[in-house]
Each structure stands twice: as C-alpha cells, then as structure tokens.
Amino acid sequence: MEIQGCVAIVTGANRGIGEAFVRVLIQEGAAKVYAGARDPASARHLEEAYPGKVVAVALDVSRLEQIQAAAAACPDVSVVVNNAGAFTNRLLIGADDMSGAREEMEVNYFGPVAMARAFAPALKANGGGAILNVLSVGGMVAAPNMGGYSPSKFAMRAAGTCIRAELAEQGTTVTSLIVGSVDTRMAAHVKGSKEAPEDIARAAMRGITRGTDEIDTDRFAIESRAALARDPKGLERQMARMLKVKDISTGR
C-alpha cells in the first residue's frame, strides 16, 4: 500500500518515536493521523502543527475499553502503528515485586495485540492496510538488565508472526520494527550515540510501502543482529555483564 492518502493511528503519539511517526506520516502524504495518547491534551501541539490532519485521541493501550472506543471512533484507519511502550527499569528477580514486569507485558504485549484485534475489521474494510509494531533490539537479544521489558518485546515479536499469518487473507501486512538506541525520554539513561526519532520513523515507512516483515531501523539494531548471528553465546555473556554496568551502550 501507499502512504499517500492513508489514514493512520499511532499509539504513544505525544512524544518520542510516536510523535516522529505522526510528523513523518503527514510529511509523506498521509491524509489523516489519529494521535493516540493517555492524555489527549499532550498531543494538542500536533493538532496545532497539522490542522485538519492530526486528531488527538484518548488511548491508553492498557485499557481495553479505550482501545475499543478508539476503533469505533476511527473506522477509516488503514495503518496501525503500535508504538506505546513501557520500561520500568526493574530486574526480574532483583525487583521487590513483579509489578514492573506486569506493566511492561500489559503495555508492550497485550496492548498491541488488543489493538490488532480491535482494528483488524477496519483494516479489512479499508483494503487490508498495515500494522507496524515498534519493538526493540531487546526483543531479539535477551537483555537481563532490562527485566520484564526484553521478554515483553520477545513476546510481541512472536505475536507479530502469528498475527501476520491470521490476517494474511485479508491483505493486512504486519511489520516488526527492531529499534536500537534512540534519542527519547525512555532512553535517557543510555549514554553514547543515539538515532533521531524521525530517522527511525522514516526507516519504518518501508514496512508500509513494501510490506516488509521485519526491519532493523538503525545501526545498533543491524550490528546487534550481526553479533547474534556470529556468536550468540558470546553476545549472551556480554548482555549478562550489563547487569553490573550503568551504561548499556558502551559497557562502562
């Protein structure tokens, strides 16, 4: 499908990669973008920047009723960008409780699955369309220092494969975006080189125009995949050492 003239909905659209998706979609010719955010007021600046083309929508992906309400209010959607994410920065065993891991699974896994279920009928009615799941290198390489975040991204990567198979007959493509180090608030604790969110969004546009199953959106993602193929056990040991360091980009 083409970006020109499409109607998209982006979760977590008020900042970071989500905001970049909204801006790049409009720049690439999207007719309308629904900017989903827990607080719609936090996305008003996008409505003001693109009057008539961006519509802020109340959308907390951990609340099924809001997902269903958004699907009912946005029947013209042909592209779903599952961007909203949670990272609580807690360990699986070392944390005081499992609340962080549960939140990460709720937002990073159950939320995107619920979005796909809710919007599948609209995508079918509008010609098939596309689903883009914003994942992470942490969904390709297990990162022990990222607690429940990495397992939640692994789970969503697998779910994307399942959803792709289920929606193939209706012509819906499902793309997993493997994202590395990006200059966002969620990655503020990471030092070293970071990609601009807009560059990630532009790389992801291939998922819409080409229907690519999986895209490494940046250099860190590409290098991580190569390291995984070259020496998986060595990379596992390297990731384990990250438990004892603060800077996950440089290992110091």
Helix (H) / strand (E) containing 112: helix 111-125
Q: Considering Cα of 108, then 113, then 118, then 121, what sign does the dihedral take?
A: positive
Q: What is the pLDDT of residue 110?
A: 98
Averaged pLDDT, 132-137: 96
Q: Does the pLDDT value for residue 187 go beyond 50?
A: no
Structural domains of the chain ordered from first start: 7-244 (3.40.50.720)
Give residue-wise pLDDT tens across range 153-170.
999 999 999 999 999 999
Mean pLDDT of the residues in the chain? 92
Asked which of 120-129, 200-209, 241-250 is least confident by mean pLDDT, the reply is 241-250
Residue 243's pLDDT band, with cuts at 50, 70 and 90, is: confident
pLDDT computed for residue 192 by the predictor: 47
DSSP three-state, residue 231: coil
Query: How many Cβ atoms are within 10 Å of 190's Cβ, its own excluded?
Result: 18
| Cβ-Cβ contacts under 8 Å for 91 (sequence gap 6 or more) | 144, 145, 147, 243
Res. 68: pLDDT tops 80: yes
Query: In this predicted structure, what is the pLDDT of residue 195?
Result: 83
Query: What is the rounded average pLDDT of the residues 17-27?
Result: 97
The pLDDT > 70 percentage for the chain reads 92
Q: What beta strand segments (E) does the chain contain?
A: 7-10, 32-37, 54-58, 79-82, 130-134, 173-178, 214-216
Q: Would you say residue 246 has pLDDT above 60?
A: no
Q: What is the pLDDT of residues 87-128, one digit of tens each?
A: 999 999 999 999 999 999 999 999 999 999 999 999 999 999
